Amino acid sequence: MRFILEFNFLMLHFIRSYIIRFLIQRELKTFTRTKKVVNLAQASSIGIIFSLESEEEYQYINSISSKLIQAGKDVKIIGFIPDKVIPNYYLAKLKMDIFTKKELNFLGICKKPIVERFINEEFDLLVDLSPVDYLSLDYISGCSHANFKTGRFRENMIDVFDFMIKKPEEMSNKTFFETVVNYLRTINTK
């Protein structure tokens, strides 16, 4: 019985993944974005995508966004909580929106207006800091109208991201976040 349940779960995940990849490919074909390499210093508008896994990661995302805002950047953040409830340590921020697992539809896509606005925003730079695969975040990254998209290396996202960074399994999420930010500071755009 357990084998059948696991098989059904894997099949459902495969079908959802296939449909989301199809939707992303369709969006990539229908919307032509202006691809332009930008580093953190050059970007005036930045979109950040992340999954809220721990308080430490939340604090790090907050510190990064605060520094970017102080530097005069227009920063918008969207986060996914892979649970049905919002953790106690999360404090609502003006530039940060979140959605939970219970706000996803059958495919694993969040259809809240905040997500649609985030996707349609033409950021100079989109940074996907999700350390693990979530279909809902892949959908946002894939459909985003940002000019330069960067994120964690994944074979199935090669056609989505303009710049990808490999995350070794033993690397902590915080170290990965710091690595991405450091690379984005040093990218030479000339």
pLDDT reported for residue 94: 60
Q: Could you tell me the mean pLDDT of each successive run of 10 residues in the chain, 190 residues long?
A: 70 85 86 84 93 86 89 93 83 79 90 93 93 90 93 90 90 86 79
Residue 97 neighbours by CB under 8 Å, 6+ apart? 76, 77, 78, 79, 114, 118
pLDDT reported for residue 7: 67
The answer, as to whether pTM is greater than 0.85, is yes
pLDDT reported for residue 55: 86
pLDDT reported for residue 5: 67
CA angle 49, 53, 58 (to 5 degrees): 65
